[in-house]
Chain A
Amino acid sequence: MRELDELQQDALGEIFNIGVGRAAGALSQIVHSEIELSVPQVELVPINQVRSTLSGGEFLHFSSVSQSFSGPFDAEAVLIFPEANALVIVSHMLGTHLSPEELSEYEQEAMCEVGNIILNACISVLADLFHVEFNGGLPKHRFSDRDGLGFESDYDAEFVLLLKVSMKINQANVVGHLLFLLGVQSLEALFDCLEKYLIEQGLR
């Protein structure tokens, strides 16, 4: 199985931190208050290990926004938050207090937009720094329980680039994950892009 070496891990960490930094700027403008985003951790895991890595035992319900990207490598990008954390985000963004039962289409669209902003920003930075172009699809939102995360069956992917995302919004700290689901070929293409980037940066 391919693994990320230290240099690759650091480079991806930096790249995605630039991405979520841009997204934080855009989100802050929408809510007129400071939102901070960071990616403290990047790892590459086989798809069948994602569920155990994600859930950490304590969360049962998840809210996710997914978007597909195609280009030098194809990926399904998924931003996923434990449902309680997603509610914190939407409540702060919309300025209302909500329970999961009250979350309607209206809030799901808002969650879609938040995810769309974060995912687009990350892919744009990848495209800029790797000098490549992607096509991005529209975001889809869904709720699922832990058993229904279903990454293995829903997508034809074998590896997941798994990023921890930390969001700070009005004093509240919210943690979620950003996943890039990759097939074998796409993973190789990602490694190629990353190697070229490291050489260009004089790091290899």
Chain B
Amino acid sequence: MSEALLDHLEVGVVLLDAQQRIQLWNTWLVRHAGIEESTARNALLSDVFPEVRDSRLQRAIDAALTQRMASLLSPGLNAPLLRLYQRPVDRRVDLRMRQLIHIVPLKGAEGCLIQITDVTASARREDQLRTQSTELRDRTYRDTLTGIGNRRKFDETINMEFRRALRGNTVLSLLMIDIDHFKAYNDSFGHPAGDVCLKMVAKALADGLRDSGDQIARYGGEEFAVVLPATDGAGACLVAERLRTQVEAALATDRHRPVTISVGVGTMHPGAGSTADSLISGADMALYQAKADGRNRVAYFNLDDGNLATLA
């Protein structure tokens, strides 16, 4: 009666004795392992499934037999271990089913019970959902033309970093960057050429950032913004000047004409009552100053003391 019951289960059931010899092998296993019950019975599990040797499953079996500990092997943390296949055709390409395995010591007897559940369908769905959600998140926050962050990304970044700086009482800097005479460039050489120019500038800017958490986004049209967490005015000016020279060098040989950028640096210690918009306005003011002073240069506005200056 109970043997017949086991044969109707939609899970694999293996019973091992203390010597790790197979005492029970249900029909599910015959079907999915392609191994007859008569062959499996009394054989060592590691002879039937050589892949068990030195595996985490083997250690879990040892723990069940010698220390009477139960274990679980999840499909997320373990590659499909046992040579079990949903369909015969999967065997030819070794496409193993995804497996959730429970190993339990027997109560009042020596030996352990192994239960294998086929979670292929749900694991595959999980994989798909995860890929889709990653792609979606990526698309939501990425500028399609240049591949860097978009305006939505910038809005989230600046607000998050502003709150972080406020909490930690640290300094925060922001660069607002504008391509010089971009409208004229677009009008003279056409929008496709303008798009290529935007891509090259974005790449030169992204290449010039530090690894320490600088975040770049396309703010709009030909404007870019870089958030520099925990960076003071002097540090931000160094980064800004490096970005300016890097763009100048990268686009000096542009096939239409040399391209340069102007950079406005805003810096502040966020305090009570101030908002991220104050910092954006400050950086904008500096950018305006850099343009007024002849373009292809960096200007700086310190919101803490009101100091506005253009770098020589």
Binding site for B on A (CB under 8 A): 26, 29-31, 67, 93-94, 96-97, 102, 104-107, 109-110, 112-114, 116-117, 120, 123-124, 127, 133-139
Contacts of A123 in B (CB 8 A): 67, 69
* A–B Cβ pairs within 8 angstroms, 22 of them: A26-B56, A26-B59, A29-B56, A30-B56, A107-B76, A109-B72, A109-B75, A109-B76, A109-B100, A113-B72, A113-B76, A116-B71, A120-B70, A123-B67, A127-B67, A133-B67, A134-B67, A135-B107, A136-B68, A136-B69, A136-B105, A138-B70
Residues A124 and B77 in contact, CB atoms below 8 Å apart: no
**Would B122 and A105 count as touching, CB distance under 8 A?**
yes
On chain B, the residues within 8 Å of A136 by CB distance are: 67-70, 105
Q: Are B122 and A120 in contact (CB under 8 A)?
A: no
Judging by beta carbons under 8 Å apart, are B74 and A110 in contact?
yes
Least CB distance from B100 to A in Å reads 6
Whether A120 lies near B76 (C-beta < 8 A) is: no
| B residues in contact with A137, CB < 8 Å | 70
Residues of B within 8 A of A (CB): 56, 59, 63, 67-78, 100, 102, 104-105, 107, 122-123, 126, 129-130, 133-134
- Complex CA gap A138/B97 in Å reads 23
A30-B78, A102-B133 as given contacts; A138 in contact with B72, CB under 8 Å: yes
Q: Is the interface of A mostly helix, strand, loop or mixed?
A: helix
Q: In the complex, what residues of B have CB within 8 A of residue A127's CB?
A: 67
When A106-B123, A109-B100, A138-B102 are in contact, do A120 and B74 touch as well, CB less than 8 Å?
Answer: no
What's the minimum C-beta distance from B169 to chain A, rounded to whole angstroms?
Answer: 19
User: A24 → chain B, closest Cβ, in Å?
Assistant: 15
CB atoms of B77 and A110 under 8 A apart: yes
